[in-house]
């Protein structure tokens, strides 16, 4: 096999030295059949993307500016949907509910980090605990929602029974406007804790011990080591969890539809995606629903871009 | 060689996948134009019953029918998606609030000519049921027929005979409705602690606001909309009085389980346990109710200021797709399920619905070997005093949903009834107006 400096050569399998064909400059390192096969292989995902992501995206860009009921062709309506949105109290309420429910993200991160720190030590039953905490993460959302619907029942629910055992009279969680969102946050934290904990555990185990030992030699106590070594080293995982948490939180639907199928007391638990679904499929306003989806998509994009910007400003390297 | 074979297989698989995508796998249309698709929803038992009725149709006509059944909560979304994807099933259940939109947008076929031509006893179907699926382009009730009623569900009131006897309370008359004072007195007498443990374990009634408010409002002379269905009329004194009466039953008189008590075990569950005196007894519940440990029967809903009883009638339609390749056969299936004697015998035999035809109903009422004894009440509702829920008569149902969104504080006695109705009327009116505006847009787009 030989190689020249000006052009690449490739020896086909089974061919002897010097049998490699010369190729024209600028055509890459692949033979023609390989290029064809390469294209065939990338065709399914490209076609899939074009059919199921790009085409719907382009169509939704148009549909957002139409009156469209999903039964007949869309009729262009300019900015009507966006004007309606600006004065739609339920849109703003559902947006507020969605943001409020995202309070569960920092709470969940704090709890899962604490658990990861606890389970990162040598202790009996460590594997069993890890499995138990991760179980909700692999369970069906529908099953979890029904389970929590029972647990949060005002009279006979497990949560209120536990509260009663310490002398607290629990509220009617899912039927009171004030408590329905905290109830959903509690459930969300419980559901997501296993996944976050697992990532934190992996990240904790990849922190070089030398850094912690160096900090210790410099006189740093446990808290300072945690604050100035562990937390910065966990930042990429935290960043990932926050971004995916916000994207996931903005799309919360199944739990709401199962636990509070009418949007909760005084619309107190209706999330933006639930409201979009309701408008699109229950009230035949697919044009309006698409416009709301577009706004939601832009919001998620803006928030994520801002997070990337913040993260890029805090990049550090360990020499 | 092995590599070449692998690549060929991979390319073949990719091509098959792409072809599947392009041809629309999972299309609800059958590829064979002579095969009908019938999409419907319901409990497992109901699906079984209708599948058996369809089998009879298949045997009799020789037509092939593909059945697609879903659970009730998935049905609307699945059907909507099928319509969006231009694969509307040939025959499908139609929820009445969708009739106007589906007709205006060309989803439903006009069945009038098939009804004229058929030998099936369509004329024997309850006229109110047929009228619910007539639409003249402006108003429900007139014009061409766009669906057959699959059933009518008279939402009758009933009572627990055993509890009445136990508490020594005089049962209601089967023909003359109680007035609201009399009803309250009976409910008060029924409410109490039967086992002496210090907690209430029997109540006069339990009001399901979404299903029962109509009875109280209508019988008191109020209504949701005016005769043209263009103006929301929830801010009238009659409406307010009815809603206040319902709120007072719980908050002032304590004759229904409290909010907390219903959250723990709702009114329906408490009725099943024999703890509720008066409760709705709809036909679809009869199979279950007949297995209960107590006896029950039907009575008219208590009457408000008008002195006459009122309640609502539920219904589902069986529609035919306007794009069906065999609309004649599809219409035949819809009519068959709605009124063929053999099909009706299968459907009614399971006790989930009242007969869809008048002649069958006349015989059914006389069957006194199964509860309820007073089946005539169902017939009276359908023929005399029942009405359809008003969102079945408007272009979109959203305006009625708006009534319930913020109702909870009112039901808990934390907000004044009049204040709430005054504030909610403009919101509901806005949604109703938007619905009619949508009708105009759709009419223009489809003209």
pLDDT in tens, B370-398: 889 999 999 999 999 999 999 899 998 88
Tell if the CB–CB gap between A154 and B263 is shorter than 8 Å. yes
In a domain, A69, yes or no: no
- Got the DSSP string for B188-252? HHH-B-SS-SSS--BEEE---HHHHHHHHHHHTT--SB-TTS-SB-TTSHHHHHHHHHHHHHHHT
The shortest CB-CB distance from B396 to any of A43, A51, A284 is to A284
Residues ≥6 apart with Cβ < 8 Å to B32: B64
Assess whether A32 and A159 both reside in one domain.
no
Our count of domains for chain A comes to 2
**Within chain B, which residues score under 70 in pLDDT?**
1-31, 263-264, 350
- DSSP letter for A88, please: -
Assess whether A41 and A161 both reside in one domain.
no
Angle between helices B327-339 and B44-61 (to 10 degrees): 120
Q: Which residues lie across from B320 on neighbouring strands?
A: B91
Assess whether A124 and A39 both reside in one domain.
no
- DSSP letter for A142, please: H
Contacts of B396 in chain A (CB under 8 A): 283-284
Q: How far is CA A226 from the centre of its chain?
A: 26
ipTM value of the model?
0.76
**Residue B107 touches chain A, beta carbons under 8 Å:** yes
In a domain, A74, yes or no: no
Tell if the CB–CB gap between B105 and A282 is shorter than 8 Å. no
Q: Residue B415, class by beta-carbon neighbours within 10 Å (0-12 exposed, 13-18 middle, 19+ buried)? A: middle
Q: How far apart are CA B282 and CA B313, in angstroms?
A: 10
Assess whether A166 and A291 both reside in one domain.
yes
Assess whether A44 and A149 both reside in one domain.
no
The shortest CB-CB distance from A155 to any of B264, B408, B409 is to B264
Domain harbouring A176, CATH code: 1.10.3720.10
In a domain, A137, yes or no: yes
Q: How far apart are CA A148 and CA A135, in angstroms?
A: 15
- In the predicted structure, residue A262 carries a pLDDT above the cut 70: yes
- Candidates B396, B185, B147; CA nearest to B278 is B185
In a domain, A133, yes or no: yes
Q: Which domains does chain B have, with CATH numbers?
A: 35-154+314-388 (3.40.190.10), 156-312+394-426 (3.40.190.10)
Assess whether A38 and A149 both reside in one domain.
no
Assess whether A46 and A138 both reside in one domain.
no
User: Is the Cβ–Cβ distance between B305 and B221 less than 8 Å?
Assistant: yes
Assess whether A48 and A181 both reside in one domain.
no
- In the predicted structure, residue A2 carries a pLDDT above the cut 50: no
In a domain, A165, yes or no: yes
Tell if the CB–CB gap between A266 and B405 is shorter than 8 Å. yes
- Candidates B331, B211, B347, B202; CA nearest to B276 is B202
In a domain, A10, yes or no: no
Write the pLDDT tens digit of every residue in B317-370. Answer: 999 999 999 999 999 999 999 999 999 999 888 677 899 999 999 999 988 788
Retrieve residue B4's tokens. Answer: 């070449």
Tell if the CB–CB gap between A266 and B14 is shorter than 8 Å. no
Assess whether A111 and A248 both reside in one domain.
yes
Tell if the CB–CB gap between A51 and B21 is shorter than 8 Å. yes
Predicted model pTM: 0.81
Residue A76 three-state SS: strand
Using DSSP bridges, classify how beta strands B134-135 and B147-154 pair: parallel, antiparallel or unpaired.
unpaired
Assess whether A139 and A271 both reside in one domain.
yes
In a domain, A9, yes or no: no
- Candidates B338, B48, B294, B291; CA nearest to B158 is B294
User: Is the Cβ–Cβ distance between B60 and B68 less than 8 Å?
Assistant: no
Assess whether A124 and A240 both reside in one domain.
yes
Contacts of B446 in chain A (CB under 8 A): 72
Retrieve residue A254's tokens. Answer: 């199944």
SS3 letters for A120-148?
A: CCCCCCHHHHHHHHHHHHHCCHHHHHHHH
Assess whether A126 and A252 both reside in one domain.
yes
Q: How far apart are CA B209 and CA B249, in angstroms?
A: 12
Retrieve residue A43's tokens. Answer: 């065709």
Name the residue with tokens 């009614």. Answer: B348
In a domain, A22, yes or no: no
Q: How far apart are CA A306 and CA A242, in angstroms?
A: 12
Write the pLDDT tens digit of every residue in A138-172. Answer: 889 999 999 998 898 877 788 988 998 898 888 88
Retrieve residue B424's tokens. Answer: 């909610």
At B155 the pLDDT is: 96
Residues ≥6 apart with Cβ < 8 Å to B275: B163, B201, B202, B203
Write the pLDDT tens digit of every residue in A81-140. Answer: 999 999 999 999 999 999 999 999 999 999 999 999 998 888 888 888 888 888 888 889
Contacts of B10 in chain A (CB under 8 A): 40-41
Domain termination site, one of A53, A69, A98: A53
At A4 the pLDDT is: 38
At A25 the pLDDT is: 56
Residue span of the structural domain in which A159 resides: 89-313
pLDDT-derived band at A283, boundaries 50, 70, 90 = confident
Tell if the CB–CB gap between B21 and A40 is shorter than 8 Å. no
- Candidates B423, B349, B399, B55; CA nearest to B231 is B399
Tell if the CB–CB gap between B21 and A71 is shorter than 8 Å. no
**Which run of H or E residues covers position A298?**
helix A286-313
How confident is the model over A262-272, as a mean pLDDT? 91
Burial B373-397 (b: 16+ CB within 10 A, else e): bbbebbbbbbeebbbbbbbbbbbbb
At A20 the pLDDT is: 52
């Amino acid at each position: 096999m030989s190689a020249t400096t000006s052009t690449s050569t490739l020896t086909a399998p089974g061919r002897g030295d010097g049998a490699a064909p010369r190729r024209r400059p600028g055509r890459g390192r692949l033979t023609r059949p390989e290029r064809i096969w390469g294209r065939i292989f990338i065709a399914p995902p490209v076609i899939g993307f074009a059919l199921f992501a790009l085409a719907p995206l382009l169509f939704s860009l148009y549909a957002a500016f139409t009156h469209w009921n999903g039964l007949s062709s869309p009729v262009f309506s300019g900015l009507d949907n966006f004007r309606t949105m600006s004065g739609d109290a339920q849109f703003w309420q559902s947006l507020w509910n969605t943001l409020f429910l995202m309070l569960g993200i920092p709470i969940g991160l704090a709890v899962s980090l604490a658990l990861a720190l606890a389970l990162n030590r040598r202790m009996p039953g460590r594997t069993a605990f890890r499995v138990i905490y991760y179980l909700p993460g692999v369970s069906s959302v529908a099953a979890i929602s029904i389970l929590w619907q029972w647990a949060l029942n005002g009279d006979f629910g497990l949560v209120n029974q536990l509260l009663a055992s310490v002398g607290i009279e629990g509220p009617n969680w899912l039927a009171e406007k004030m408590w329905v969102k905290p109830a959903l946050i509690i459930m969300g934290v419980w559901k997501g804790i296993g996944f976050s904990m697992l990532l934190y555990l992996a990240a904790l185990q990849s922190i070089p011990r030398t850094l912690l030992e160096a900090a210790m030699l410099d006189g740093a106590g446990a808290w300072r080591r945690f604050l100035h070594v562990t937390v910065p080293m966990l930042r990429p995982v935290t960043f990932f969890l926050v971004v995916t948490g916000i994207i996931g939180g903005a799309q919360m639907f199944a739990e709401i539809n199962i636990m509070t199928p009418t949007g909760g007391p005084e619309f107190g638990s209706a999330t933006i995606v639930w409201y979009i679904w309701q408008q699109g499929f229950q009230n035949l306003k697919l044009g309006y629903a698409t416009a709301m989806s577009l706004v939601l998509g832009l919001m998620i994009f803006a928030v994520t871009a801002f997070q990337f910007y913040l993260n890029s400003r805090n990049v550090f390297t360990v020499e | 060689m092995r590599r070449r074979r692998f690549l060929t297989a991979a390319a073949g698989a990719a091509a098959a996948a792409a072809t599947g995508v392009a041809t629309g796998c999972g299309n609800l249309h059958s590829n064979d134009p002579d095969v009908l698709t019938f999409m419907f929803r319901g409990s497992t038992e109901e699906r079984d019953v209708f599948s058996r009725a369809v089998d009879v149709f298949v045997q009799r006509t020789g037509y092939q029918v593909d059945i697609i059944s879903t659970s009730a909560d998935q049905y609307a979304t699945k059907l909507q998606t099928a319509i969006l994807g231009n694969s509307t099933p040939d025959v499908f259940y139609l929820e009445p609030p969708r009739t106007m939109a589906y007709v205006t947008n060309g989803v439903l076929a006009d069945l009038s000519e098939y009804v004229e031509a058929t030998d099936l006893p369509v004329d024997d179907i309850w006229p109110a049921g047929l009228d619910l699926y007539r639409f003249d382009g402006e108003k429900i009730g007139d014009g061409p027929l766009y669906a057959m009623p699959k059933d009518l569900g008279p939402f009758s009131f009933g009572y627990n005979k055993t509890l009445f006897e136990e508490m020594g309370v005089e049962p209601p008359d089967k023909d003359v409705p109680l007035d609201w004072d009399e009803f309250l007195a009976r409910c008060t007498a029924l409410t109490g602690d039967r086992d002496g443990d210090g907690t209430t374990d029997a109540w006069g009634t339990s009001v399901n606001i979404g299903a029962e408010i109509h009875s109280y409002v209508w019988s008191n002379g109020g209504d949701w909309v005016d005769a043209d269905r263009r103006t929301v009329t929830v801010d009238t004194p009659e409406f307010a009085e009815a809603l206040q009466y319902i709120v007072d039953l719980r908050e002032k008189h304590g004759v229904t389980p409290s909010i907390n008590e219903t959250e723990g075990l709702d009114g329906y569950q408490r009725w099943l346990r024999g703890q509720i005196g008066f409760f709705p007894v709809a036909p679809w519940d009869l199979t279950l109710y007949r297995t209960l440990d107590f006896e029950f029967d039907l009575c008219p809903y208590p009457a408000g200021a008008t002195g006459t009883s009122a309640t609502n009638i539920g219904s589902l339609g069986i529609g035919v797709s306007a794009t069906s390749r065999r609309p004649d056969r599809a219409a035949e299936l819809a009519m068959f399920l709605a009124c063929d004697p053999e099909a009706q015998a299968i459907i009614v035999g399971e006790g989930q619905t009242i007969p869809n035809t008048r002649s069958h109903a006349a015989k059914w009422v006389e069957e006194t070997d199964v509860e309820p004894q007073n089946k005539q009440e169902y017939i009276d509702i359908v023929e005399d005093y029942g009405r359809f829920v008003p969102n079945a008569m408007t272009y979109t149902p959203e305006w009625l949903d708006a009534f319930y969104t913020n109702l909870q504080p009112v039901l808990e006695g934390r907000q004044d009834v009049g204040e709430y109705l005054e504030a909610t009327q403009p919101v509901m009116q806005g949604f109703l107006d938007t619905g009619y505006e949508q009708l105009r847009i759709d009419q223009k787009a489809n003209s």
